[in-house]
Amino acid sequence: MHPDLPKLLDVQGKDRRLAELGVTMDALVTERAVLDAALERVRADIAAATRMAADYARRRDETAAKLDTQRSNQEKRRVRLESERNPRLAAQLMADVELARSILAQEESDWMRLADDATQRASLVAEAEARVAALEEEQAEARAAFAAQMAEIQADVDAAKAERESAASALDRTLRTRYDRLRNARKTEILVPAEKSICTACYTAIPSSRIGRLEAEGLLLEGCEMCGAIIYLTDAVV
Ligand SMILES: [Zn+2]
């Protein structure tokens, strides 16, 4: 057996373990994102309800300010009416007072409606806030479980990285550089077994000029001519 073959297979096995842990971690992150999205939707409800409540409160307050001005103008007309001696001007003032009274009555009823609406809108904000609080409580257990699982996997990742590093340091520098380059370039495995003189990564036949060395050493370090995978014989691994 070629002396580099067991070392390479060891590094590849540890890379495989790291990749598996990465997949597990990604799955957890994806699942946790579902909780985040649910919470985000309810939080968006609060934001929308708050904007609406603020809008109603502003309109209520504007109407109240307008009413104050109109009431004070009406009061001034009444005062003028009491002291007006000219019958024609008094009749005109009387008509103005009557008109203003009906406008005021309408505005007062508008204000009351706005005040009711504003109160109702404020209670919708409180309801949305209660829904967020309830959902946060409902998710707390699941989030704690995710955090625990993630911490556990992260510890496994850290350990697996250290093991990988130690396995990789057993390779000579050139081979390690080559392996790492292939690892970055290939989605599939770097060391693949030959089967009936065929590379099992790309199913290209290994040239007869190389078969002899593969059979003698159990390893073709220069790799597959077609896909670059490093080829080995499973028989060589005991
Ligand atoms: Zn190949």
| All structural domains of the chain | 9-171 (1.10.287.1490), 186-236 (no CATH)
Alpha-carbon distance values, 131 to 7, 33, 81, 143 (Å): 57, 19, 57, 17
How would you write the pLDDT of the chain (238 residues) with one tens digit per residue?
789 999 999 999 999 999 999 999 999 999 999 999 999 999 999 999 999 999 999 999 999 999 999 999 999 999 999 999 999 999 999 999 999 999 999 999 999 999 999 999 999 999 999 999 999 999 999 999 999 999 999 999 999 999 999 999 999 999 999 999 999 888 789 999 999 899 999 999 999 999 999 999 999 998 999 999 999 998 877 6
Is 138 in a helix, a strand, or coil? helix
Largest Cα separation within the chain, whole Å, is 130
How buried is 122 (Cβ within 10 angstroms: 0-12 exposed, 13-18 middle, 19+ buried)?
middle
For 190, the token pair is 């770097």
CA 232 to ligand 1 centroid distance, Å: 11
CA 90 to ligand 1 centroid distance, Å: 108
CA 144 to ligand 1 centroid distance, Å: 46
CA 191 to ligand 1 centroid distance, Å: 10
Contact of 211 with 218, CB cutoff 8 Å = no
Contact of 81 with 97, CB cutoff 8 Å = yes
DSSP 205: B
CA 126 to ligand 1 centroid distance, Å: 64
CA 79 to ligand 1 centroid distance, Å: 104
